[in-house]
Amino acid sequence: MELEASIRARVREIIASRPGKDRAQLLEVLHEVQGAFQSVPRVAAEEIEREMGVPVTDTYGVVTFYDLLTDKPTGRTVLRICEDVTCHLHGSSELVAAAERSLGPEGEPSADGSISWTRCACLGLCDQAPAAHLGGEPLAPCTPAFVEKAGARHV
Ligand code: FES
């Protein structure tokens, strides 16, 4: 209950920091919520509904549409590996294999909660494929050795 109350309070702060409470603010609010909690938990969506009038189902429609948002817990840092066509042709499957070896199953936070990894669509770095993002920072071209090094630091 205490955690739920603190999430609700933080969501209210995030909403209050925006120039308005209208639906146009939703994406920015969700990015801030994601940054604060590494996901958009159900209780946050409920608070958004209460404060902004955006139904929980609409919030989850946005969360499930955008690759950078998730309703599932992630590590504090997320490694995103592009698996779109160009990166696939340039060896992204080797990055995925390295992530599975060094970081464990896709989408699951490491034991210390510091990192998780996921596949994603094009990151706009096709000319430097295979590409990845680590904590929002571009890594291109990325190598299996880099992925394993990231894993060794966090697991
Ligand atoms: S296809 Fe991977 S960055 Fe575009």
Of 76, 97, 106, 108, nearest to 142 by C-alpha is 97
Q: Which of 67, 80, 87, 89 to mutate to test the pocket of ligand 1 (most atoms within 8 A of CB)?
A: 87
Tens digit of each residue's pLDDT (9 = 90 or more) over 15-56: 999 998 999 999 999 999 998 998 999 999 999 999 999 999
Instruction: Give the pairing type, strands 132-134 and 115-120.
Output: unpaired
Tens digit of each residue's pLDDT (9 = 90 or more) over 97-145: 999 999 999 999 988 889 999 999 999 999 999 999 998 889 999 999 9
Answer whether 84 contacts ligand 1 (Cβ < 6 A): yes
Instruction: Record the pTM.
Output: 0.78
Ligand 1 centroid, distance to 146 Cα (angstroms): 18
Answer whether 44 contacts ligand 1 (Cβ < 6 A): no
Structure tokens at 28: 């920015």
